[in-house]
Amino acid sequence: MEFSFESVESLIDLAGNAGTTTGKLANAFATVQKLLNKTQAGGDADIKLALSELALQVANAKLANADLKLQLTALKDELHEAQVFKSDLDRYTLWETQTGAIVYRLEKAIQDGEPIHYLCTNCIESKRKSILQGTKHHRSCPCCKAGFSFERQAPISLR
């Protein structure tokens, strides 16, 4: 994965710092406005216009910044979910059944008390973990209903 957790964290910090900067800008603007009102008793129309333009820009910057922060936080959550999913999937390997179906199988070495089980490859593609259910001959996915054959059935005896 190209994006790392740390890079998103630092972007969020950056957005936070930019917020501080626009906050300072807003304070400076208020100070200038006070001074102008004092010294010029109403002030020059051009200056007033420039100041209201500046106020608008500060407000916009604040909004854009808050929006950016929200987006980055959502991205961080998404990334975290993807990492949790991936580290869980790392415990499984693609495995071919006796009859040639491909499923994900829990690695024996990292079973960690869980029974051996198999995951649906269709559902993994949609970032969904679905444990196959069924018999040793045939299992199916409870989510997407895909069927997977495992061991060959013993030939039916006609005696």
Helices 5-40, 45-89: axis angle to 10 degrees equals 170
130 binds Zn ion per the rule CB under 5 A: yes
- Judged by beta carbon, residue 65 or residue 139, the one nearer Zn ion is 139
Rounded Cα–Cα distance for residues 96 and 150 (Å): 9
Residues in the interface with Zn ion (CB under 5 A) total: 8
58 binds Zn ion per the rule CB under 5 A: no
Site for Zn ion in 137-156 (CB under 5 A): 141, 143-144, 146
- Judged by beta carbon, residue 62 or residue 129, the one nearer Zn ion is 129
101 binds Zn ion per the rule CB under 5 A: no
Using the structure block, give the residue that is written with the tokens 């420039």.
50
- Judged by beta carbon, residue 122 or residue 149, the one nearer Zn ion is 122
- Judged by beta carbon, residue 26 or residue 143, the one nearer Zn ion is 143
The three-state secondary structure class of 26 is helix
Question: CB 88 → Zn ion: shortest distance, Å?
Answer: 16
26 binds Zn ion per the rule CB under 5 A: no
122 binds Zn ion per the rule CB under 5 A: yes
- Judged by beta carbon, residue 33 or residue 122, the one nearer Zn ion is 122
Question: CB 128 → Zn ion: shortest distance, Å?
Answer: 7
Contact, 42 vs 51, CB < 8 A? no
Q: Which residues contact 97 (CB under 8 A, 6 or more apart)?
A: 103, 148, 149, 150, 151
Rounded Cα–Cα distance for residues 35 and 40 (Å): 8
Where does the chain show beta strands of DSSP type E? Answer: 92-96, 102-106, 118-119, 133-134, 138-140, 147-149
Residue ranges in contact with Zn ion by CB under 5 A: 120, 122-123, 130, 141, 143-144, 146
